[in-house]
């Protein structure tokens, strides 16, 4: 087996983290404990694409909540991580709900989670979150080309029905579901139906998948390959 690619991947990200931790980070803020910071970063990597419970994160890493909050702000200031707020008609409610966490480069959380090869990553439970992260980054780039830029949220009900990403441009909404599958089906559009029924501002919905086909799943709902976002 040729492991040269895997070694290069791990070596590059290891050097990046060392440089970031030992040089760039210290220019942004004083971090009292680099091991604590590293534990928080690695725990966040495993939560890519998930709703963030800051209390749980502090408990799992044995780092105080105020320190975890400080590290989150630092990672966001350093353009490594972004928190996506929950969507609600009330803009006040958007600010009090827990955000989802995405990284600006999926390669970093993949490395921090111990995935040095695509084979290991493909069969992991974290693969879906990293795929969603990749779709988010491409979608975010397109959203910023609009004038004014579109805002991106996620949506979740009290019964834990979730739309991965919601684009808001003025009064228009576009729900986007992300599925790590090459064969999207009608049932995958269930929550898109739910969202569009609740918000008439959403006249259409999109399901992004890992396949190559464009499929009309239902009226107003289309399944599109993620590569169309990337221009591949």
Output the pLDDT for position 17.
76
**The pTM is what?**
0.86
Percent of the chain exceeding pLDDT 70 equals 89
Secondary structure in 3-state letters for the chain: CCCHHHHHHHHHHHHHHHHHHHHHHHHHCCCCCHHHHHHHHHHHHCCCCCECCHHHHHHHHCCCHHHHHHHHHHHHHCCCEEEECECCCCHHHHHHCCCEEEECCCHHHHHHCCCCCHHHHHCCCCHHHHHHHHHHHHHHHHHCCCCCCCEEEEEECCCCCEEEEEEEECCEEEEEEEECCCCCCHHHHHHHHHHHHHCCCCCCEEEEECCCCCEEEECCEEEEECHHHHCC
Q: Smallest Cα–Cα separation from 37: which of 28, 53, 10?
A: 28
Average pLDDT over residues 138-158: 93
Going by C-alpha positions, the residue among 156, 171, 157 that lies closest to residue 99 is: 156
Written as six digits, the tokens of 185 are: 């089906």
CA neighbor of 212 nearest in space, from 228, 194, 195: 228
Instruction: Name the residue ranges covered by the structural domains of the chain.
Output: 4-122, 127-230
Average pLDDT of the segment spanning 74-101: 82
Task: Quote the pLDDT of residue 92.
Answer: 61
The CATH architecture of the domain made up of 127-230 is: 3-Layer(aba) Sandwich (3.40)
Q: Return mean pLDDT, the chain.
A: 88
Place of tokens 């105020």: 66
Mean pLDDT of 23-34: 69
80-89, 115-124, 220-229: the lowest-pLDDT one = 115-124
Among candidate residues 154, 124, 121, the one with its CA nearest the CA of residue 139: 154
Q: State how far the Cα of 230 lies from the Cα of 142, in Å rounded to an integer.
A: 10
**pLDDT above 60: residue 95:** no
What would be the CATH architecture of the domain defined by 4-122?
Answer: Orthogonal Bundle (1.10)
**How confident is the model over 80-97, as a mean pLDDT?**
78
Dist. CA 130–CA 126, nearest whole Å: 6
Cα 41 to Cα 57: distance, rounded to the nearest angstrom: 10
């Amino acid at each position: 087996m040729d492991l040269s690619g895997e070694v290069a991947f791990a070596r590059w990200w290891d050097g990046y983290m060392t440089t970031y931790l030992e040089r760039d980070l210290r220019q942004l803020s004083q971090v009292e404990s680099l091991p604590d910071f590293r534990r928080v970063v690695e725990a966040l990597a495993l939560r890519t694409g998930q709703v963030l419970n800051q209390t749980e994160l502090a408990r799992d890493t044995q780092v105080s909540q105020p320190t975890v909050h400080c590290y989150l702000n630092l990672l966001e200031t350093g353009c490594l991580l972004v928190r996506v707020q929950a969507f609600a008609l009330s803009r006040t409610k958007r600010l009090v709900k827990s955000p989802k966490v995405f990284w600006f480069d999926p390669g970093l959380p993949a490395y921090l989670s111990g995935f040095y090869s695509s084979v290991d990553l493909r069969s992991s439970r974290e693969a879906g979150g990293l795929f969603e992260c990749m779709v988010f980054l491409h979608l975010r780039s397109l959203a910023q080309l609009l004038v004014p830029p579109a805002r991106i949220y996620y949506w979740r009900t009290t019964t834990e029905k979730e739309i991965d990403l919601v684009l808001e441009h003025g009064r228009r909404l576009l729900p986007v579901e992300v599925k790590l599958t090459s064969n999207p089906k009608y049932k995958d559009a269930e929550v898109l139906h739910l969202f569009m029924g609740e918000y008439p501002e959403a006249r259409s919905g999109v399901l992004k998948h890992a396949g190559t086909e464009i499929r009309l799943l239902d009226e107003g709902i289309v399944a599109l390959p993620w590569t169309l976002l990337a221009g591949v």
